[in-house]
Amino acid sequence: MAEYTYKLPDVGEGVVEAEIVEWHVREGDQVVEDQHILDVMTDKATVEIPCAVNGVVKTIVGEPGEVLAVGTVILVIEIDGTAPTQEAAPKPAKDEAKADSSPPPPAGEVSAKRTEGASAASEKPDAPKPSAPPSVPGQARDTSPASGGGKGAAPAPAAPSRPSGERALASPAVRQRALEAGIDLSAVPGSGPAGRVTHDDLDDFIASGGRLASRSGAASAGRAPRTGVETIKIIGLRRKIAENMALAKRTIPHIAYVEEIDLTALEDLRAHLNANRKEGREKLTIIPFLVTALTKAVVDVPQANAHYDTESAVLTQYEGVHCGIAAATPKGLMVPVIRHAEALDIWQIAAEVKRLAEAARTGKATKEELTGSTITITSLGAMGGIVTTPVINHPETAIIGVNKLQVLPRYNADGQIVPRKIMNLSSSFDHRIVDGYEAARLIQAVKAYLEHPATLFME
Amino acid sequence: MSERKTRKCQVLVVGGGPGGYPAAIRAGQLGLDTVIVDKAGLGGTCLNRGCIPSKAFIHAASKFEEMRHLAEKSDMGLSLSAAPQLDMAGLTAWKDGIVNKLTRGVGQLLKAARVDAVNGWAVFRNAKTCVVALADGGELEITAEHVILATGSKETELPFMKFGGAVIGSTQALELTELPEKLVVVGGGYIGLELGIAFRKLGSAVTVVEALDRIVPLYDGELTRPVTMWLKKNKVDLHLKSKARGVVEEGGKTFLEFQTDQGETQRVEADKILVSVGRKPVTDGWGLETMGVDMDGPFVKIDDQCRTAMRGVYAIGDLTGEPLLAHKATAQGEAVAEIIAGHKRRFDPVAIAAVCFTEPELVGAGLTPDEAKARGEEVITGKFPLAASGRALTMEGGADGGFVRITARKSDHVILGIHAVGKHVSELSGEFALALEMGARLEDIAGTIHVHPTLTEAFAESALAALGHPIHISA
């Protein structure tokens, strides 16, 4: 019984990895030549992978959503006959005009199919190198002869003229540091005996910007190519964020809606409240006002304060507003939740925002404080920006982004140009659930509350 | 059929030997949800039937031999009035006690690192999923994000004389409850010689049959000469360039038949025939073929981060090729656990030192002079005989022809290899490896004050000898 090993093919120019979108076969399935077995997504396109042999699927690697490097083994097929085990990187299907036609594809997948034929990689870009011979001693060379060799006498330090690729003489700790810093030690001039690279040499090399002075000979100050490459394993919170973002973007068709809000009146009120606030109260930002406006506005657009379960096709609308507030933490993005924001006044909301942000930042937020939001607010704070297209916090149906508040010229009712405090609200909605009209209705209601702040405090 | 349970984890380690268990402990320390599966008991070959039991056995044999000598003839003013008695079953029980203590310790270390140890045999269905037939019944299906293969190696059998009856491997040799009167060792590598010498010390008549023209082929003739001398002095019958042909039973006796370099067929009588012709990786019977990894000859192919061709599957230790050494596996295991945790690591030792517990002991780290020359190096060497070491003499060493030899590049004095032969020299191996990893030159070793009176002085003296001015021998 022979095996046919598929490697993830080179699906296009410059593409080094692709995400598994969907397997169309399972382990144990019988497959035939040209059968469409897999969809993968690169940052450029979704590509169909056809099968090249007849046989039975033995092993599948990679769950949908997983990102694999080009050359990774993705499939082992047991084929009949006695041919020796083969390897293959199948050609991706040349693309038919399946995409770009109506109806729009479900989920947020890119479906512009590439039309150039991507070349199959016959070599194995990701194949490991053969393991190095186990024990080869330090290989650095110094062309200068050693001084006669009195006890402890060292020859004058000389920059090594180390042939390219030759292993540098350095202790394990120095080698490990170089590895972590992404530095090829053979490029570092060693000041020690026999060109030994010391910790100080490595410090100097890093401090000098890692110039390849010793190799290319006196690379002058000025512009030099940066040749370092750092690969970082995405784990922990970062990986969770990546998965959630991919899930949201993959399954939720986002519609973005941006509206300008005149906050001149609200800012006056806010300044007054802050100036006269009771001791022990948190200073108010715009967020508590926005949260309050949302708690009122969603009453008329309840599908925007909801969870949508794609699989069971059930929308759960909540009367209470549990407002997620996206917060930057040292580890990455976290979304602590203000529970029943509709039951809190602005001071209580301000206190809760402060407390939760602190808890998230210090890693003390509980699971309950980090889950269960029904709608989310995201703010880039002082960084602002004029527009964002926020990604919905799955499985919610709406997210509201706060942009930069700035003084801009606007016409007043009399046709005169006046300075106004203007801020954009950028929002995204799950377009499967929230129609454009409803989205606009919600944001217009929020706008009305914020531009007439007294109405925030009326029932 | 009994119930099948399932378990998901971040790291699955297959094999509880000196590669697998450190990998699991390190992974556990790093907070990864880790499961280790082993059928034959934690500690692997090393603890259960390799390094540790053989060293216990060798130590006991040396002690017995010393006492026997003292019973025959007084020495150092010491004598024994009666010959010592050997109880093989007692020796084996003592050795088993050490093994049990160590393997229990491994279990506790794994527990302390919150590693889930599963006793059973894992068979992979695909690269990330295996089914374990549990030792106490039932089945457990484990799916892991990362898999570390550490299945180790097993003794190589000769097809024409399989283990069984009088033919034994090193494992059975360490389980004997009766001393074989006549032992024939097929294979003059380090395992065959370590055990052959120990049995000789215990009183067996020992014959060694080796196909090559030298013993312990990893070491050069200069190094192995003291071992050859010991074999000769102690009447171990050594047949080089001779090939074992098979076992012959005749008249109720067992013989090993072998062909000498002259082409003659000879026979030697044996109570036990120890076949020690090498080890091979354990690649069968656990579903390796379903995992899509690439092979490198009989071994699993890995890169300098112990990654196989299959994403998320790592391999370490004997499964991945020469040298088949426990400490190499351990270093790989630690590195892989850290790589999985997202650290940057690479397995790139300058040297992996090796030790043979023959009589006398052998140590090798880095290149021998011949190997260095074959790589185009111009070398200088320095040699210091243990006969000139005060400490060696106080431990009855030095008379066996032992020495420390250092090999350095002539141009810059960077040390390329360090070798030693002699009583107790195995304990010098750590300093040898350190010198090579740190990129030491002869001057570094000569400039390090070595403690008197210890054997390590011989290392410093060998560096001085290479520099042309040793103190305790005439240059």
Contact predicate A372/A322, CB 8 Å: yes
Pick the CATH number of B354-467 from 3.80.10.10, 3.90.1170.50, 3.30.390.30, 3.30.420.40: 3.30.390.30
Q: Determine whether domain B4-49+93-155+280-340 maps to CATH 3.40.50.150.
A: no
Q: Which of A440, A421, A443, A426 is nearest to A386 (CA)?
A: A426
Say what the pLDDT of residue A107 is. Answer: 41
Q: Tell me: the pLDDT tens digits for B422-446?
A: 999 999 999 999 999 999 999 999 9
Cα–Cα distance, A175 to B348 (Å, whole number): 9
Cα–Cα distance, A191 to A432 (Å, whole number): 66
Identify which of B322, B366, B437 has the shortest CB distance to residue A172.
Answer: B437
Does residue A57 belong to the interface with chain B, where contact is any CB pair within 8 Å?
A: no
Where is pLDDT greater, at A103 or A324? A324
Q: Tell me: the pLDDT tens digits for B98-137?
A: 999 999 999 999 999 999 999 999 999 999 999 999 998 8
Say what the pLDDT of residue A158 is. Answer: 41
- Chains A–B, number of C-beta pairs less than 8 Å apart: 148
Which residues, including other chains, have CB under 8 Å from residue A45's CB and lie 6 or more apart? A11, A12, A110, A111, A112, A113, A114
Cα–Cα distance, B443 to A387 (Å, whole number): 67
Where is pLDDT greater, at A211 or B299? B299
Inter-chain CB proximity A134 and B438 less than 8 Å: no
Inter-chain CB proximity A138 and B436 less than 8 Å: yes
With 0-12 / 13-18 / 19 or more C-beta atoms within 10 angstroms meaning exposed / middle / buried, residue A272 is exposed
CA-based torsion, A134, A136, A137, A141: positive or negative: negative
Inter-chain CB proximity A137 and B346 less than 8 Å: no
Does residue A111 belong to the interface with chain B, where contact is any CB pair within 8 Å?
A: no
Contact predicate A135/B349, CB 8 Å: yes
- Is this complex's ipTM strictly greater than 0.85? no
**CA distance to partner chain B, nearest, from residue A302 (Å):** 39
Span(s) in chain A for CATH 3.30.559.10: 236-457
Secondary structure (3-state) at A202: helix
Span(s) in chain B for CATH 3.30.390.30: 354-467
pTM of the model: 0.62
Range name among A48-57, A329-338, A341-350, A446-455 with the lowest pLDDT average: A48-57
With 0-12 / 13-18 / 19 or more C-beta atoms within 10 angstroms meaning exposed / middle / buried, residue B250 is exposed
Inter-chain CB proximity B344 and A179 less than 8 Å: yes
Cα–Cα distance, B470 to B474 (Å, whole number): 7
Cα→Cα distances B368→A452, B218, B363, Å: 88, 9, 11
Percentage, residues of chain A above pLDDT 90: 37
Say what the pLDDT of residue A56 is. Answer: 85
Cα–Cα distance, A260 to A224 (Å, whole number): 45
Residue located via tokens 């297959």: B14
Q: How many residues does chain B have?
A: 475
pLDDT at A188 over 60: yes
Q: Tell me: the pLDDT tens digits for A332-384?
A: 788 999 999 999 999 999 999 999 988 888 878 888 888 899 999 998 766 77
Say what the pLDDT of residue A18 is. Answer: 76
Range name among A99-113, B27-41, B288-302 with the lowest pLDDT average: A99-113
Band of the pLDDT at A327, cuts 50, 70, 90? confident
Say what the pLDDT of residue A130 is. Answer: 41
pLDDT at B71 over 90: yes
Q: Which of A94, A58, A54 is nearest to A73 (CA)?
A: A58
Secondary structure (3-state) at B142: strand
Residue located via tokens 């190096």: B377
Chain A segment 125-184 residues within 8 A of B by beta carbon are 127-132, 134-138, 140-146, 149-155, 169-172, 175-176, 179-180
Contact predicate A135/B419, CB 8 Å: no
Does residue B270 belong to the interface with chain A, where contact is any CB pair within 8 Å?
A: no
Catalytic site positions of A: 431, 435
Span(s) in chain B for CATH 3.50.50.60: 4-49+93-155+280-340, 167-277
Band of the pLDDT at A20, cuts 50, 70, 90? confident
Percentage, residues of chain B above pLDDT 90: 96
Inter-chain CB proximity A129 and B349 less than 8 Å: no
Secondary structure (3-state) at A334: strand
Neighbour count for residue A259 (Cβ, 10 Å): 14
Inter-chain CB proximity A149 and B468 less than 8 Å: yes
Say what the pLDDT of residue A142 is. Answer: 42
pLDDT at B68 over 90: yes
Nearest CA in chain A to B378: A141
Band of the pLDDT at B80, cuts 50, 70, 90? very high
Nearest CA in chain B to A27: B126
Say what the pLDDT of residue A455 is. Answer: 94
Which chain A positions have a beta carbon within 8 Å of B322's beta carbon?
134
With 0-12 / 13-18 / 19 or more C-beta atoms within 10 angstroms meaning exposed / middle / buried, residue B448 is middle
DSSP letters of B68-87? HHHHHS-BTTB--SS-----
Does residue B304 belong to the interface with chain A, where contact is any CB pair within 8 Å?
A: yes
Inter-chain CB proximity B438 and A171 less than 8 Å: yes
Say what the pLDDT of residue A122 is. Answer: 40
In terms of CATH, what superfamily is B167-277? FAD/NAD(P)-binding domain (3.50.50.60)
CATH of the domain spanning A172-216: 4.10.320
Residue located via tokens 């290899």: B417
pLDDT at B199 over 50: yes
Where is pLDDT greater, at B86 or A207? B86
Which chain A positions have a beta carbon within 8 Å of B413's beta carbon?
146, 149, 193-194
Question: Burial letters for A402-418: b for 16+ Cβ neighbours within 10 Å, e otherwise?
Answer: bbebeeeeeeeeeeeee
Pick the CATH number of A2-88 from 3.30.565.10, 2.40.50.100, 3.90.1200.10, 3.40.50.300: 2.40.50.100
CATH of the domain spanning A236-457: 3.30.559.10
Identify which of B292, B303, B342 has the shortest CB distance to residue A73.
Answer: B292
HSE toward the beta carbon, residue B348, CA cutoff 13 A? 21
Mean pLDDT of A213-228: 55
Say what the pLDDT of residue A17 is. Answer: 73
Nearest CA in chain A to B316: A131
DSSP letters of A54-87? -EEEEEE---TT-EEETT-EEEEEEESSSPPPEE
Averaged pLDDT of chain B: 95
Where is pLDDT greater, at A153 or B390? B390
Cα→Cα distances B110→B20, B34, B36, B43, B327, Å: 11, 10, 9, 11, 18
